[in-house]
Structure 1
């Protein structure tokens, strides 16, 4: 009888330990339900692949938690403990703790190779003469189009890109593949997009396209800098320093492998500033 009790107790403790271990193995990562090329429910985005790689390096099972609206997912998902990790946040994002950057990239000018546009910076003549320039509102591209006097010229075209939807109190999505296709199809001469958002579609375009990284030296009329190059990191909940340390080790030790994943996507990768390299 005593032996039976011991066996039963051992089984209960063993099951309990296994359950705890299973819980620890799950790395809950918040990703977008449909924000390609970053992520989707089918796991086809490059951030899906990066999340899977990170989980494997940690020896943990990946559990995806999807969100639909980018405006609130930190508050409603990460902060409430529904997920542990957020891929693809700006390095130093004040809402979270961020790892050392796992890549740095920039906004790009996109045009058709056959057009031979010499797009180097915001003084490029092609920006003055283009009839249609595709871009997402609220980005640095909008700021600089206002500076060079082309924003009003593009107002009606921008409304066409979202089907004349009102942006009041709602999240209006500008599909990256559609904006790249505007150039590929000849509807627009130029697109100005975040490089990682455009790279997959530029690479896959049947019409050869040119993608030029925009220099990070633009300024508004008042002399204030307009940033076009940014470092991207992994975010965790404030206070979760143990998880942050684990992720930092992976980012720093597996830089070459992570770069390979990003280069396969076609993302233009830039050197990190010394200040970013010394973070965390």
Structure 2
């Protein structure tokens, strides 16, 4: 009986290893934007492309990108339907998916020209009340605060000029982060208010030296309700895929230094993770 049990145990172990090996050979299908820089594009030039390659390397799985063009529907049309396995950049705690532990935290920033020497620390700064042009993305926390300080209406026409793309279907509007940074670099705007990770690459590439100031996370609307400006980012998998979620958490823990190097090379302002991690959703 002991001999038979030993044989069965060995067979079970062998079968388990075979299944594990087969799974490792399957490609890791990553949901990625076709053209949403600096996150990702078809050429693999985004920082999330680099993070995806790191994950695939650690899991021993070849990365295959399943690209999307409209951010509003890719979870429903791709991830939920099993066409892809993981989204590299998700807000921690996004209820539409299962999210990993955060792998970085960042914030929205003020971008100005270094030579202007503007005293701009927060939304109470006099600079924001006197600036002729402030570039920002509608629908973001920046818009909420522009309303709170009474600058939304007089910036409306300028904000419309910044639209970089409008789809023929459903009127999806897109703002180009590089364009908004260039508005400040070229002197067409005094200030830009952008999500740090979305703007860092273009700040680094700017011929005109730019200054980045992380906006404090203590802002409130006119009615006193808090407006978040710091957020944590995780990787997301579809609900029910706890196995892949656990693997991704192991990768994040094991390769945290390598992940940080990629983010620092991008120039992303990194903030300490609060305890416990905030599960707030960032508005884009």
Fold similarity call, TM over 0.5: yes
SS at match of 1:276: coil
Structure 2 vs 1, CA of residues 165 and 77 (structure 1 numbering), >3 Å: closer, same or farther?
closer
SS at match of 1:233: strand
Contact 2:85 2:237 in 1 (8 A): yes
1:226-269 CA-to-partner distances (Å, cap 9, x unmatched) read 00000000000100001000000111222111111000000000
Contact 1:104 1:271 in 2 (8 A): yes
Structure 2 vs 1, CA of residues 164 and 250 (structure 1 numbering), >3 Å: closer, same or farther?
closer
1:61: which partner in 2?
A: 62
2: CA distance between counterparts of 1:220 and 1:26? 46
2: CA distance between counterparts of 1:67 and 1:30? 7
SS at match of 2:174: coil
Contact 2:110 2:194 in 1 (8 A): yes
2:218: which partner in 1?
A: 217
Structure 2 vs 1, CA of residues 163 and 258 (structure 1 numbering), >3 Å: closer, same or farther?
closer
Structure 2 unpaired stretches of 5+: 1-17, 280-284
1:138-168 CA-to-partner distances (Å, cap 9, x unmatched) read 0000000000000111001011112796999
Contact 2:200 2:268 in 1 (8 A): yes
1: CA distance between counterparts of 2:182 and 2:128? 18
2: CA distance between counterparts of 1:237 and 1:142? 31
Q: CA deviation at 1:170?
A: 1.9
2: CA distance between counterparts of 1:215 and 1:277? 15
Contact 1:25 1:59 in 2 (8 A): no
Structure 1 unpaired stretches of 5+: 1-16
2:200: which partner in 1?
A: 199
Q: CA deviation at 1:222?
A: 1.2
Number of equivalenced pairs: 261
Contact 1:159 1:165 in 2 (8 A): no
Is it true that 1:25 corresponds to 2:18 in the alignment? Answer: no
SS at match of 1:235: strand
TM-score (norm 2): 0.88
